[in-house]
Structure 1
Amino acid sequence: MGKIKELQTSLANKIAAGEVVERPGSVVKELLENALDAQATEITIEVEQSGISSIRVVDNGTGIESDDLGLVFHRHATSKLDNDEDLFHIRTLGFRGEALASISSVGKVRLVTCTDGLEGEEIYVENGQILDKKPAKAKQGTDITVESLFYNTPARLKYVKSLYTELGKITDIVNRMAMSHPDVRISLYSDGKEILHTNGSGRTNEVMAEIYGMKVAKDLIPIQGDTSDYHLEGFVAKPEHSRSNKHYISIFINGRYIKNFVLNKAILEGYHTLMMIGRYPICYINIEMDPILVDVNVHPTKLEVRLSKEEQLYQLIVEKIREAFKDRILIPQNNLKKTDKKNKVLNQLEQQKMDFEHKQKEESASSTNEDADENIPPQRETDDCEPFSSAEHATSNNNAGEVNEASSDYIFSETRKEVLDDMESSEDMGADTDMIEDDPSNIKGKVSKDPSRRIPYLEIVGQVHGTYIIAQNDNGMYMIDQHAAQERIKYEYFRDKIGEVSNEVQELLIPLNFHFSKDDLIVIEEYKDELEKVGVHLEPFGGHDYIVNSYPVWFPADEAEEIIKDMIEYVLHHKKVDVSKIREEAAIMMSCKKSIKANHYLKKDEMADLIDQLREAEDPFTCPHGRPIIINFSNYELERLFKRIV
């Protein structure tokens, strides 16, 4: 008798659910996508216990025909594909026909639907089997409820995170769907409390105001661009609103949220030196394109896609983001209100930590006294594990204080991080409820026609610690980092000069020697001609060794060896030679080394001259590493500091 047999439908559905339904957020995503594909204009999502207990999605879409109800929960049953050709022209969010089958195999599903607003039907499903079907009163659309998620797969339930984490995942999914479909009214409720509500006005920046707060939304800059294959539009936030991770980068293709390393890199390249290393922007980018140029069928959750003509799209994103910031005033303002609020929260957390540690020590001392009186060693609660040995017991008593202290440090460091992240992502929410306009002229950070006007006229007041220049005008007080300012000026000078230099070379007195592995030798030989085009001539020196007898004249003389090493490393890792990138790194290095340092006192005319040069810079707001050069303290903030106003 053969060993191969066909899997039972229920088992096959559970296996599929392992890919499609990873957590409660996965259920919300699939049901929300179905509602949007059904052309709904209003969708309400209600979750209880972060979706573990119940998930309900109600929409006013087209509904499901009575004849189709028998197939809704079958695997690979879909209304969105008819033949092979359709797979290469996908414009819907769902198309595999696995979502409802997978959800019904790990949860108890009740579905009420109506197509005409008069007569509806209700079905109840468990383990992928329809257990009940009956007529029901219903509005047009679909009302689907999933209860007791993972009730029959305890292993999956075991790996679900905390309720706070799972609710965060659900909120994130709904937020991104709301951004990509601003014309749909979307509401999210958790245990009866409203988390999100959009007005369906069709304006993406209003949705972003609801999600990120008005302060960020007022600093959004619209971008738009076209090529023969792509249409791009979106919003990018000013660099001062940067975040510590990529979570706030939202990229959509034909309304579908995706994750793509290359496009993330293009966005960061667009910000260029305006963003510090390790910081990431808030941005929304939607790309409209012919579906034949994108393959969305490469990942079970449909988050990853393959793109044709990816390099063309990369260049478009970089170009449009750089254009957005090219002539804008990007001087960040010091926000005393935010700082005071953050300090207050941190002080409260620190006090809670001290109280917690004090309580732990009292409990530890109490338990030690009780053990001494009773002279009974503690036992493990479960019988399926071996009891502590006497040595382990002694060690555990000796280290109890250390463990409690370490635990409190961990608990409160995690709490501190979560609170600050929450404050950062929702800062100044609702502080200003003015209508946001798509017109760039109505958005904070207006366009300046004259590059020198991007830095306003400043009257020099003095210098602090030989490091910061203090200046003033009618808008308040300005602090300028003199090193960062001159670093930006010299960077732009060296960048332009290095770009003009030909591939002339300077001979070395002592050749540089490089040793490569066999794998590296193959790559080096392939790109040897490309390296020679930029002035790096590798000559065989026997075995796996090469020598270099000269270097391009635009290399800094004292850094020539290091730059050549970096160029070769770049070739080995990226399989190409990027001359512009190498020249830019050289310009950054030279500008940093040749700029005035901290604790260097300047005369007033020297400070004024530095500011004048900065006003002529192309991007006078950040140094080449992305650090801010100039910060503004408004007159209002100065008066608050001295309690002239409260």
Structure 2
Amino acid sequence: MIRRPIQQLSPALVNRIAAGEVIERPASVVKELIDNALDAGATRITIEIEDGGRQLIRLIDDGSGIPEGDLPLAFASHATSKLLDDDDLFRINTMGFRGEALASIGAVSHARIVSRTADGVAHEIQNRGGEIGAVQAAAANVGTTVEVRNLFFNVPARRRFLKGTTTEFGYISDAVLRAALPYPSIEFRLLHHGRLSLHLPIVADADERLLAGWPDEFRDGRMSIDSGDGPYRLRGLIGTPECARPVLKYQHFYLNGRAIRDKTVQHALREAYRGLTEPGRHPAAVLMLSVPSGDVDVNVHPTKSEVRFRDGTRVYGLVMASVREQLIGSNLAPRAAPRIELADDPVRQNMQERLAAFFKGSLAGKAVVDERGEVALEAPVTVPAVSSVAPMEQFVGAKPQVAIPAMKAVSNSAAIQLHNSYLVAESDDGLIIIDQHALHERIMFEELLARVTAGPLESQRLLIPRTLPATARQMAMLEQIQPLLARIGIEVAPFGPDVVAIQSFPSFLDKLEPADFIAELVDRGETELQNLSEEELLHEVLDMMSCKAAVKAGDPLTPGEIEALLARRELVERSSNCPHGRPTTLRLSLRDLEKQFKRTGF
């Protein structure tokens, strides 16, 4: 390897490298420009976009403006009016403070600033890829206009990695909405190709602005929070447990008006909802923390989205206690763990308790996987007292309810349903316990995959199309996966600026509300499904469909349905696990049973 001498990088290259940390995509530019407008005291902010931000980003505000004498430094690196000395870095009360944003933007675009103060005249300055021009006279109202054209024109690698126009505009729309939520006294307008896409007018009710970040169906279930611990305060909205979604999209956290991502706040929120939401679902919340500026360090991430609290325990306690108190006051959170009655019949309840104790002892043993992939359970650690176990005939009739055809894993004896959730059947060497939902989900997934491979799924034209509100980013996502939707029998089309219409839906999902399915698909598509290949995305969507269409835990099954489910089990590969990876079947061998009843010499 040829050794090169150490040399000083040129200022232009330094600025391009710095821009790579701050400016990731057009939405990053918009976010930085909004921060500057907020610091300038603007009450009206308009953002105009062309080609998803590639060709033009223009932000117009009515803030205090930049004096003519300061304009030459506006595009200079590490030049700012927001810090005077070292101590100010630890008492930051502004959105920006590093003096990097405009310099970074100018280094990778053709940028122009036009500004006027209340007691001055308008002037402008340009920056073309790091080449800063002279200040010139201009015509403008009080405030500042920043134009950014040809973003990444001199960084072709970064430009190639940008998504399509609608996707990039979706990111911009999200950035504007996220920035606007804490500021009800400021009007925000977002236009794309001259068409108004988002308008958030000034509102007197702060909660009304916060609701702009949620779907309309969350409105009725919202709960306001306004509590404090001395100078530490928490304000915002939380949703009922029914508003919880499988994605984090509807969680917005703010610190002193700045949007943040923080694991401390997120964990406290999750703990407050513990026991109220289903596993894998996240509560909806817009939480705004007010903390003394000296008690937090916002200078720990290039985008200022992560912070470090001096007293994280205090913040955690404030969030968890405030949210939990609101949930309890709304009769949503039990003060103590409820006692669950499984049945009123004492005989049946006694059976359930003993079966639970028996299987708990069995499951305490070591699990091994047999050649079928089923989980085989070795000897347990604890065993219920023999004298406490009544004969099984007392609880289950000796006559079989239905004959199960001879199969590889299940014999031709009866199968019973336990708690309307599990199937218990005799196998060649013991018994098996099947999770009815997990098994049916795997069966449906494999059958759907085979049908999609052969051709598009059969769909049904909806007599009345279902409509669904959608953001620009969500509409872009649906447009991207349109070929996939067609393969699975779903037809979705725009129905206005922020609404889509579901026109066709798979006929086998007749019990599922199409709008609910598409809403969940869109939510997951914005986060979890973004970077998947086409085949991986197909599997994820089929998994969703299978999970929705499969029988659920708690659904009673007839003997015929049980028989059919077990018969289909033998026709499916990988039936030992559901598409999520959970086991569908547990096996308890006859030898394990004999050990339980002390019939062996061990």
TM-score (norm 1): 0.52
Shift in Å, 1:162: 2.5
- Secondary structure of the 2:246 match is coil
Aligned residue in 2 for 1:279? 281
Counterpart of 1:321, as a letter, is V
**Cα RMSD between the aligned structures?**
3.4
Structure 2 counterparts to residues 135-534 of structure 1, below 5 A:
135-328=137-330, 341=466, 352-353=486-487, 420-421=519-520
Q: 1:207 to 1:421 in 2, by over 3 A?
A: farther
State how far apart, in whole Å, the 2-side matches of 1:248 and 1:52 are.
28
State how far apart, in whole Å, the 2-side matches of 1:351 and 1:29 are.
33
Q: 1:138 to 1:279 in 2, by over 3 A?
A: same
Q: Say if 2:204 is the partner of 1:70.
A: no
Counterpart of 2:519, as a letter, is L
State how far apart, in whole Å, the 2-side matches of 1:249 and 1:200 are.
23
Q: Deviations over 1:188-225 (max 9, x none)?
A: 11222222211222533212333424332332111122
Q: 1:418 to 1:291 in 2, by over 3 A?
A: farther
1:8 to 10, 26, 29: 10
Structure 2, unaligned runs of 5 or more: 334-461, 471-477, 492-514, 525-553, 558-595, 597-602
Aligned residue in 2 for 1:102? 104
Shift in Å, 1:418: 10
Aligned residue in 1 for 2:129? 127
Shift in Å, 1:181: 1.4
State how far apart, in whole Å, the 1-side matches of 2:556 and 2:175 are.
49
Q: 1:214 to 1:280 in 2, by over 3 A?
A: same
Q: Say if 2:157 is the partner of 1:23.
A: no
C-alpha contact (below 8 Å) 2:50/2:57 kept by paired residues: yes
Shift in Å, 1:47: 0.9
State how far apart, in whole Å, the 1-side matches of 2:222 and 2:237 are.
6
State how far apart, in whole Å, the 1-side matches of 2:28 and 2:95 are.
14
Q: 1:342 to 1:242 in 2, by over 3 A?
A: farther
State how far apart, in whole Å, the 1-side matches of 2:175 and 2:70 are.
28
Q: 1:341 to 1:295 in 2, by over 3 A?
A: same
Q: Deviations over 1:233-270 (max 9, x none)?
A: 11101121222211221111111111111210111111
Between Structure 1 and Structure 2, which shows a larger proportion of helix residues?
1
C-alpha contact (below 8 Å) 1:295/1:306 kept by paired residues: yes
- Secondary structure of the 1:69 match is helix
Shift in Å, 1:353: 3.1
Q: Deviations over 1:593-629 (max 9, x none)?
A: xxxxxxxxxxxxxxxxxxxxxxxxxxxxxxxxxxxxx
Structure 2 counterparts to residues 569-608 of structure 1, below 5 A:
none
Q: Say if 2:96 is the partner of 1:88.
A: no
C-alpha contact (below 8 Å) 1:208/1:217 kept by paired residues: no
C-alpha contact (below 8 Å) 1:205/1:217 kept by paired residues: no
Shift in Å, 1:354: 7.3
Shift in Å, 1:41: 0.6
Shift in Å, 1:424: 6.3
C-alpha contact (below 8 Å) 1:206/1:217 kept by paired residues: no
Aligned residue in 1 for 2:52? 50
Percentage identity across paired residues of the two chains: 38
Structure 1, unaligned runs of 5 or more: 332-336, 358-415, 426-463, 468-557, 559-646
State how far apart, in whole Å, the 2-side matches of 1:356 and 1:237 are.
30
Counterpart of 2:253, as a letter, is I
State how far apart, in whole Å, the 2-side matches of 1:215 and 1:417 are.
11
Q: 1:465 to 1:35 in 2, by over 3 A?
A: closer
- Secondary structure of the 1:71 match is helix
Shift in Å, 1:73: 0.4
- Secondary structure of the 1:284 match is strand
Counterpart of 1:127, as a letter, is G
Aligned residues: 365
Q: 1:72 to 1:465 in 2, by over 3 A?
A: closer
Shift in Å, 1:341: 2.4
C-alpha contact (below 8 Å) 1:125/1:132 kept by paired residues: no
TM-score (norm 2): 0.56
Q: 1:18 to 1:417 in 2, by over 3 A?
A: farther
Shift in Å, 1:342: 7.2
Shift in Å, 1:329: 5.6
State how far apart, in whole Å, the 1-side matches of 2:145 and 2:84 are.
26
Shift in Å, 1:48: 1.0
- Secondary structure of the 1:319 match is helix
- Secondary structure of the 2:113 match is strand
State how far apart, in whole Å, the 1-side matches of 2:323 and 2:282 are.
14
Q: Deviations over 1:509-546 (max 9, x none)?
A: xxxxxxxxxxxxxxxxxxxxxxxxxxxxxxxxxxxxxx
Counterpart of 1:353, as a letter, is R
C-alpha contact (below 8 Å) 1:342/1:420 kept by paired residues: no
C-alpha contact (below 8 Å) 1:117/1:139 kept by paired residues: no
State how far apart, in whole Å, the 2-side matches of 1:275 and 1:5 are.
57
- Secondary structure of the 2:17 match is helix
Aligned residue in 1 for 2:370? none
State how far apart, in whole Å, the 1-side matches of 2:213 and 2:45 are.
17
State how far apart, in whole Å, the 2-side matches of 1:189 and 1:305 are.
31
